Amino acid sequence: MSEIEVNFREVIYEDIWLLYNWSNDPLSRQMSFSSEPILKEEHEKWFAHVMENPNIVLLIAEVNNEPIGFVRFNISNDEAVISIAINRSQRGKGLAVLMINESIKYIKKIKYIEHIYAYIKEENAPSIRTFLKANFLLVEKEKKEDYFYLKFRYS
């Protein structure tokens, strides 16, 4: 059996609606810190901000030249916060761990990053398992509004 290879490319403007659809997936919305559906106008403003902001690196993950999800790094000094989304049809295949690990290698080649964190809602068991498998350690549990979130650090 051949090993799956995940490649990355930086997002381009033509990816705007691909990201919109992935981000508005019902499960993605449920597990997001803001669970309301994203309006197209909001997404357009957010996307323009991301495209102009040098402290946000947004990568499209591809397998066999087909987009399977995205990884975003919000960077502040030598720290980054990672977030991911994976196409519904690609979930459950173990690709998320590969996306995380390979995207960290990618980001460390282009930016100086000392610490990488992930923030996950406490009830998001699949993401918690994924980030633990990707060598993240739980460092903190905090309450925000009406839910708890967990803070993980890449080790």
User: 19 to each of 29, 40, 86, 107, how far by Cα in Å?
Assistant: 13, 11, 10, 19
Give per-residue pLDDT as tens, 39-71: 789 889 999 999 999 999 999 999 999 999 999
Domain coverage including residue 61: 7-118
pTM: 0.89
Q: What local confidence, expressed as pLDDT, does residue 9 receive?
A: 95
Q: What local confidence, expressed as pLDDT, does residue 134 receive?
A: 96
Asked if the structure places residue 138 within a domain, the reply is no
User: DSSP of 72-125, one letter per residue?
Assistant: EEEEETTEEEEEEEE-GGGTTSSHHHHHHHHHHHHHHHHS--SEEEEEEETT-H
Asked if the structure places residue 145 within a domain, the reply is no
Asked if the structure places residue 53 within a domain, the reply is yes
d(CA 68, CA 22) in angstroms, rounded, equals: 10
Name residue 118's beta-bridge partners. 152
Asked if the structure places residue 125 within a domain, the reply is no
Give the dihedral sign, CA 58/61/67/70: negative
Structurally, how many domains does the chain consist of? 1
Residue 112, token pair as written in the block:
């100086």
Q: Report helix, strand and coil shares of the chain as percent, to nearest 5.
A: 35, 35, 25
* CATH number of residue 69's parent domain: 3.40.630.30
Asked if the structure places residue 137 within a domain, the reply is no
